[in-house]
Amino acid sequence: MIGIVDYGLGNVRAFENIYRRLGIHVEPVRTAEELARADRLILPGVGAFDWAMAKLKQSGMIDTLNRRVLQDDVPVLGVCVGMQIMANGSDEGRAAGLGWIPGRVERFRDEWFNTHTHLPHMGWNDVELVDAPVLMAGLPDPRFYFLHSYFFHPDDESHVIARTCYGKIFASAVRRGNIWATQFHPEKSHDWGVGLLANFSKV
């Protein structure tokens, strides 16, 4: 069963709808007990870094989530802010992140753009694959939907599996072992997103 971590942030229903159309067993998980039954996890997120970490802690699931991912090696896919909170911390706030993939979340800088009104990065953009044969299998010329003003800068470049150019080249997808994450929103990315989510169900 794919469990969508429902801690009050993210497009939980959109993920549910896609997986149910694909005939793949999916359930939102809201308690540590439900989390313990999932064999794959999706960690969505929208909004601010500190708020996401606060909501996750308030959910009562964070200890079980850490155990399932770090000790039980359950595959997990973080999306948008769900990706960012996998870092050690963020320029957006003061809270410590989960630290699953060493790195820091940084803000796009105005000087990277020709004009002053380019944030947030919103809309469709090309994604250049670096090393994502499983997650991106069968997805030629992938394009995904983005909505963000901050990006994940991993300490180890070998964790980058896809890059995107927006003002500068940044990591739009990362992986460390059983931990996968995308800055873009597969649940809003039509056929490319459906294909990616289907692939994740098989990792």
Active site residues: 80, 185, 187
Q: Which residues contact 161 (CB under 8 A, 6 or more apart)?
A: 129, 130, 131, 132, 135, 173, 174, 175, 180
The DSSP symbol for 192 reads H
Residues 124, 127, 133, 138: is their CA dihedral positive or negative? positive
Residue type (1 letter), 125: N
Rounded (5°) CA angle 37-6-72 = 35
Distances (CA, A) of 60 to 3, 30, 179: 16, 9, 21
Structure tokens at 137: 């299998």
ω into 133 cis (within 30 of 0): no
Strand 40-43, strand 2-5: pairing: parallel
